[in-house]
Structures are given as structure tokens and as C-alpha cells.
């Protein structure tokens, strides 16, 4: 217990971050308190700055500090391919891998009757407009291989069918470095069905 | 990769916190970005406020947002007992347990010839002055049961001997809820030597 209202309030807010509980939030705040000049002040300033300037890109839904995200602003990435992802975290993961050179469309969730999330909330009509407006060649559905993910993928495929755009989805199979012995039956079956000639 | 200098800078700073690596810092920042109004802005403000106002209590070394920490400012805690701890984290742990009603003296480290940490750096002369100035009855040495901790405890005991104050240290023994089978030999030996009549 820090016995100090300001410090206790900071610990409480830090404890809401994923990966930090009350105990580790306390440890993190203690470390910040010891490095007030080198770490705490710059971190507070960076956070306030990002909180003030962060916004969703009005084209793809990526989060950035400019009106247009760096990917939508980069003309080199207008290669006619758009990758549909559920979340900004998935976009960041694909960018980290550096394997995709087109643009993105962030849904911000998946279709869910239970949570009353419909196509409008996910910007699916907006995606259909992008297909015609930007003259897209291919839409890659990079959604989770879960029931909700696949339901959403099917819905998008149906919604985009009239545009005639090429639709594709990520391949399913054995992960790189994966051992067959540890794979679930569904993945093994998918990998066998999608087998390739060598 | 967020592809945004402001957001990447924030992730880098967050990754320096204990308990957060590059991956979990990214997840934490993503969560902050999604809750810009409810969490990110208040957290940034609380952190800036604490960074600006936090200071070491000039009597005991506890960290607070006032000149005098709440414990040194509370006259009810002037009961003639001072508990010597290595770190503010130890003080917070004792306060959390709510078992001690006196005041504290935070050393901010342990004696270490290797790291050139001497008695002056740890405020041991200042502790000796507190014993006479505050008319202390008892000084409780609550230092880690490690070589450095015990060396420091011995040094403090020697330094305070001329004042005639009562010195004590935390009891060693079986932790509450502990199983003998899992205890190390040193703890078992200490518990047996310090056995009590029932």
C-alpha cells in the first residue's frame, strides 16, 4: 500500500492494462517512481500526445496519429489487393511479418447475432464501395479460423460476389516448424486435403 | 508494427516496464488506443501528475506526493519504533500487511563494496541521528535474509550500539501455510533453533 491517493490512483489505472495485475502494476509504478525523470515523465508525455492525436484511418480503420494511416497514404501500396482483418492487432502482425504489400480493411470485430454486431457495424458496405471505387483486383480474407471468423468470411464473400472481385483466404495447414504429433485433427485434415504436388 | 512513429515510441517506452516485454507492451498500447477516452487520457494525466509531484520523504525516504510522507505526517505512528527496510517496495509490503504501527527508514539499497555503496549512501548516519532526535525505543531491522542484507544489518547494529537503542530483526522460521517437506534446510534449521514452548 502506497498510502498516497495519487500513487494509488495511478496503480489502479495501470492494473487495467492487459498483462498487468494489481501486483505487477504496483511493481511497474514503483519502477516509474524511481525513474521519474528518465522514464515516467517521457512516458506520460508520449501517452498524452498519442491519446490526443490517435485516430482511426477513415479508409481502412487502422489506428494512427494522422488522418490517413501510413499504409493508405503510401501510393506504392495501391497494388489492387486489400487484406480484410478482424482487428488492428492482426494488421500489425501482418505488417511485422512484412509479407503483404497491399492495403488493409479493418472490420473491428466479427458478425455476431448475440452481440448485435451486423454488417453495417463492421463496415462491410464500405468495403464493397472500396472494391469498385479503388478498382480492386483481389480481396484476401485473413480472418480467424473460428466459427465467427468463418461466418463473417462467408458473409463478405456473398456481399462482394456482385462486384466480380477475386476472393481468397489464408491457406490452412501445418505451421512452419510445427510437429505433426502435436497438431489437432482439424489442422491435420485441412493440411492433407490441401496437399500440394512436389 | 504500427508503422507510426508516435505509437512505436510509446510501445518502446512501455516495453521498459517490468513485467512487460515488446509483445505485451504492443498489446497494452493497442488496448489503450481502443480506450483512448476512458483509459489512455486519464492514465497519461495521472502519470504526468505523479511524475511532477512525487518526491522522497525527507525523513524516512518513502515516496509520496507530499513533502512529508503520510506515515511521517501521522502523529499516531510516533510510537518510538522504526522499521529499517531496503526498499520502498518492502515498506509497501509491510503497510499492506498492516502489522506495523510505527515509522520506517528506507535505506534505498544495501551495503556493497562491489557497487561502492557505503553507509553514507544508505543514510545510516541519518538513521543514527533519528534515534537520538526522535528518542526511539526500538529499531527493527527488516532486511532480506541474504548475505548483503545480513552484512548491512550487522553494520547498522554496530553503528547504533552507542545510542543504546533496542535492536531487533524479523523472526526466521516456517512461513504461514508452509509445508515442511518443501522447505530448504537453512529455514528448517533456523525454525528448529528458534523453537517456542507451547
Q: How confident is the model at residue B194 (pLDDT cuts 50, 70, 90)?
A: confident
How many Å apart are CA A7 and CA A29, to the nearest integer? Answer: 8
Structural domains of chain B sorted by starting position, each given as residue range(s) with its CATH number in brackets: 5-53 (1.10.8), 67-169 (3.40.1360.10)
Whether B16 has a pLDDT exceeding 70, the answer reads: yes
DSSP state at residue B59: T
DSSP H or E stretch at residue A85: strand A81-85
Question: What phi and psi values does residue A123 have, to the nearest 5 degrees?
Answer: 70, 30
- How far apart, in whole angstroms, are the C-alpha atoms of residue B1 and residue B3? 5
Nearest to A24 among B19, B27, B50 (CB): B19
Q: Report chain A residues whose CB lies below 8 A from the CB of B47.
A: 10, 32, 40, 43-44, 47
pLDDT of residue A3: 66
Look at the block and give the residue holding cell 523453537. Answer: B195
Contact yes or no for B30 and A92 at CB 8 A: yes
Asked if A28 is an interface residue toward chain B (Cβ–Cβ < 8 A), one would say: yes
Higher pLDDT: A184 or B42? It is B42
**Per the CB < 8 Å rule, is A24 touching B41?**
no
**pLDDT reported for residue A113:** 79
Q: pLDDT tens digits for B73-88?
A: 999 998 999 999 999 9
Closest CA to A141 of A120, A121, A155, A123: A155
pLDDT at B17: 94
pLDDT in tens, B47-61: 999 999 999 999 999
Give the separation between CA B54 and CA B65, rounded to whole angstroms: 4
Give the separation between CA A180 and CA A131, rounded to whole angstroms. Answer: 39
Give me the pLDDT at residue A175, please.
86
Mean pLDDT for all residues in chain B: 89
- Counting every residue written for chain B, the total comes to 198
Rounded to a whole number of angstroms, the distance from the CA of A40 to the nearest CA of chain B is 6
Within chain A, how many helices (H) and strands (E) appear? 8, 6
Residue B1's pLDDT is 55
What residues in A contact B7, CB-CB < 8 Å? 50, 54, 63-65
A95 touches B at CB < 8 Å: yes
Percent of chain B with pLDDT over 70: 98
pLDDT at residue B119, as a whole number: 87
Of A5, A18, A44, the CB nearest to B28: A18
- What pLDDT shows up at residue B130? 94
Q: How far is CA A45 from its chain centroid? A: 25
- Give me the pLDDT at residue B76, please: 94
Q: Which of A6, A31, A53 sits opposite B50 (nearest CB)?
A: A6
Which residue has better confidence, B174 or A166? A166
Which residues in chain A touch residue B48, judged by CB atoms under 8 angstroms apart? Answer: 41, 44-45, 48
Low-confidence ranges of chain A (pLDDT < 70): 1-3
Cα gap B26→B30, rounded to integer Å:
6
Instruction: Quote the pLDDT of residue A177.
Output: 83
Cβ–Cβ < 8 Å for A62, A88: yes
DSSP string across B144-198: -SSHHHHHHHHHHHHHHGGGT-EEEE---SPPTT--GGGS-HHHHHHHHHT----
pLDDT band at residue B29, thresholds of 50, 70 and 90? very high
Judged by CB atoms closer than 8 Å, whether chains meet at B27 and A18 is answered as yes
Backbone conformation region of residue B108, classed left if phi is above 0, alpha if psi is from -120 to 50, else beta = left
Going by C-beta distance under 8 Å and a sequence separation of 6 or more, which residues neighbour residue A62? A56, A69, A71, A72, A88, A91, A104, A106
Collapse the DSSP code of A103 into the 3-class scheme (helix H, G, I; strand E, B; otherwise coil) and give the result.
strand
- Higher pLDDT: B26 or B116? It is B26
Gap between the Cα atoms of B91 and B81, Å rounded: 14
Nearest-neighbour CA in chain B from A79: distance (Å): 19
Q: Are B91 and B82 in contact (CB under 8 A)?
A: no
B-contacting residues in A 110-169 (Cβ below 8 Å): none
Band of residue B176 on the pLDDT scale cut at 50, 70, 90: confident
- The residue of chain B nearest to residue A54, with distances taken between CA atoms, is B33
Contacts of B69 (CB under 8 A, 6+ apart): A3, A4, B57, B59, B60, B62, B63
Taking the C-alpha atoms of residue A115 and residue A94, their distance in angstroms, rounded to an integer, is 27
Amino acid at each position: 500500500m502506497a498510502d498516497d491517493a495519487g500513487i494509488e490512483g495511478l496503480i489502479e489505472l495501470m492494473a487495467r492494462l492487459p498483462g498487468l495485475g494489481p501486483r505487477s502494476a504496483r511493481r511497474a509504478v514503483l519502477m516509474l517512481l524511481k525513474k521519474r525523470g528518465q522514464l515516467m515523465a517521457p512516458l506520460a508525455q508520449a501517452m498524452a500526445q498519442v491519446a490526443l492525436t490517435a485516430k482511426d484511418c477513415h479508409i481502412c480503420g487502422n489506428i494512427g496519429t494522422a488522418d490517413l494511416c501510413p499504409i493508405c497514404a503510401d501510393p506504392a501500396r495501391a497494388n489492387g489487393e486489400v487484406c480484410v482483418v478482424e482487428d488492428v492487432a492482426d494488421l500489425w502482425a501482418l505488417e511485422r511479418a512484412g509479407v503483404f504489400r497491399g492495403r488493409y480493411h479493418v472490420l473491428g470485430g466479427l458478425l455476431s447475432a448475440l452481440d448485435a454486431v451486423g454488417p453495417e457495424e463492421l463496415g462491410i458496405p464500405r468495403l464493397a464501395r472500396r472494391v469498385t471505387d479503388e478498382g480492386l483486383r483481389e480481396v484476401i480474407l485473413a480472418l480467424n479460423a473460428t466459427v465467427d471468423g468463418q461466418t463473417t468470411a462467408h458473409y463478405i464473400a456473398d456481399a462482394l460476389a456482385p462486384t466480380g472481385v477475386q476472393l481468397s483466404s489464408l491457406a490452412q495447414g501445418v505451421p512452419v516448424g510445427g510437429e505433426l504429433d502435436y497438431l489437432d485433427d482439424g489442422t491435420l485434415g485441412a493440411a492433407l486435403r490441401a496437399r500440394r504436388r512436389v
